[in-house]
Structure 1
Amino acid sequence: MQMRLTRKLIFALLISSGLVSVAPVSADSATGLSSPEQANYLHELKRLYSTQDERKALLAHVNKLLETYALRAGYQVGQAERSDLLYSVALGAQGEFLLREETRGENRSDIAVRNQRIEVFGVDPYIRYDCPTSGISCSLNNPVTGGTMLTIVRDNNGAAELAKALSFLVRNLQKG
C-alpha cells in the first residue's frame, strides 16, 4: 500500500509540473489487472515456466508460490500444536479449480487432507487477502464465499503476488 501511495504522489507531482499528460483511465487499469499488465505478466510466466499455455504457466506459478509461502511448523513458535499447512491447486471441470489443503502434525505422522472445489463462473475474479500485523499468517479469501480459502505465512509481498496469480488464473478459467 505504501508503494502504491508513493507512486500516486510521484504521478501527481509529474502532472502538476506538466511532465506527464493525463489520459482517460479505464476501470481495469485502476484495479491492477489491465490488459497491458496482463499480457506482460502472462508472457513472463510463460517464459519462466517454458510453456505456451497461459493456464499451465499460471497453475505452475500459483503452486510454486503456495510452496514458497507455506505456513510451516517452524514459523509457529510458541503455539501448542504446531503443524505444516500446505496447499496445491489443480484444474477441475470447466470453470473450476481444486484446492488441496494438507495439514501435517509436527511429528509428521498426523496428516489431514481437505479438498475444495471452487467454481469461478459468475464470481469477482479479484482475490482479496489480509495480513494482520498481530499474527503469523496471511489469509486469502474465497472468491465465492468471501471466507478464508487458504492461509500462508505472513508476508505481504508473497500474499499480494499469490492473490494476483490466483486472480489471473480465475480470469483465465472464466474464459472457458
Structure 2
Amino acid sequence: MNRIIGIRKGIAMLTMNRWPGRLVFQGLTLAGVLATSSVAALEPEHETRRLMLATEQAVADENWGDAGEYLNRLQGVEVEKPPEYLFYRGRVMLEADHYNEAKSALENYVDKTGTDGQYYKEALQLITAVEKEQKASSKRAEKASGEEPVAVIEAAGREPLERLQQLYLTDNPTNALTLHLNSLLELNGWRQDQRIVRTGSVPDLLYRVSVQSGEINIQESRTTENGEVRLSSQSLPVYGISPEVRWDCVAAEQACWVYDPRNESRLFRLAGDKKLTAEAAQTLGRLIKSTQTPN
C-alpha cells in the first residue's frame, strides 16, 4: 500500500490526504451483476445520474468504500455512463492492484474526453503510475523466479482466490471467479465501431456467465445495427474438459477470441485488448477448474 501511496504523492488532486487501507475498496464488484437485489424505481438515465452524484460525493469525502459500492451499482445499469465513471473506476482498480483494468479505464476516459476532460491531467498521471507498478511487479516476479522470463503478463486472472473473494465480497471462490470473468468480458466487449470502444458504453456483444449444477451457462447479448437486442445462450459442461483455455487476436477481424476448450471453436468474441483477453481466458480456465472441484 505504501508504495502506491508514494507514487501518488505528486498528484495533488488525488492525494490531499493519505488514502485508507485497501479494504475500503471491498464494495467494488466489477461485474455489476450483484448491484442490487431489487429493481430500481428510477429509469436507467436517472438512476445513473443519482449514483454518479453519490460517487462524486463519496470521493469528495474520501469515503472510498461507499465510492466503490456506487461504482458497483453503476456497472449494473445498462446505459452509457458519463466519462467520469471511467476515471473513478480507474482510480479504484489501481488501488486494488488490478493494473490492466485500471489502465484500460483511464485510457478510455482520456480517449473519450480529450484535453477537455475534468480529470485529464490526473488521468495521464495515473496511467504513468500504472505503468510503473506493472514494471515493478514484473521485476519482482523475475527476481522471485531467479530466471529470465520469456514474457510477463500482469494477469488479474492469476491472483490468489482469497484476494478476489475479498474484492468481490464473497466467501465462494467460484462466485468470485464468475464475477471477475463477467467484468473482463464487459471491459473488453466487442463493438461494431471500434472508434467508440469505451468501458462506460454497452458493447455490441456482451457475454454473461453463471454457474449452476456443474455447468457454466453463457448468455450472449447481441445488438444489431437497427438497435435490436438479440439474446442467446449455451451451456458448457465442465467435467472431463481441460481448464487450459486458448485465446488469440486476429488483426484482420479487429477482434480477439477466447476458444471453447471442448472443441477449439470460437466462444467469446472480444475487442482488441490482448492482456484483457488473456486474463479472460485464464479466468475461464480457473472457473472451469473450480467448478470441476467445488469443494
Taking structure 2 as the reference length, what is the TM-score of the superposition?
A: 0.44
Counterpart in the other structure of 2:211 = 91
Separation in structure 2 between the aligned mates of residue 87 and residue 117 of structure 1, nearest angstrom: 13
What's the CA shift string for 1:101-152, capped at 9, x where partnerless? Answer: 11102342x2221111101100111111011233311111111121001110
Counterpart in the other structure of 1:111 = 229
- Where do residues 111-150 of structure 1 align in structure 2 (5 Å cutoff)? 111-150=229-268
Counterpart in the other structure of 2:93 = none
Please tell me the root mean square deviation across aligned C-alpha atoms, in Å: 2.9
Separation in structure 2 between the aligned mates of residue 124 and residue 96 of structure 1, nearest angstrom: 14
Match of 1:42 among 161, 165, 168: 161
Counterpart in the other structure of 2:269 = 151
More helix by share: 2
Shift of 1:64: 0.7
Counterpart in the other structure of 1:28 = none
- Where do residues 26-105 of structure 1 align in structure 2 (5 Å cutoff)? 40-75=159-194, 84-93=204-213, 95-105=214-224
* Structure 1 consecutive aligned stretches of length 4 or more whose deviation exceeds 2 Å: 132-135
Counterpart in the other structure of 2:290 = 172
Contact 1:98–1:115 (CA<8 Å) still a contact in 2? Answer: yes
More strand by share: 1
Taking structure 1 as the reference length, what is the TM-score of the superposition?
A: 0.71
Contact 1:42–1:54 (CA<8 Å) still a contact in 2? Answer: yes
Unpaired runs of 5+ residues, structure 1, are 14-36, 78-82
Contact 1:131–1:139 (CA<8 Å) still a contact in 2? Answer: yes
> Which amino acid is the alignment partner of residue 274 of structure 2?
N
Unpaired runs of 5+ residues, structure 2, are 1-134, 150-156, 197-202
Identity over aligned pairs, percent: 28
Separation in structure 1 between the aligned mates of residue 253 and residue 282 of structure 2, nearest angstrom: 22
The count of corresponding residues between Structure 1 and Structure 2 is 142
Counterpart in the other structure of 2:152 = none
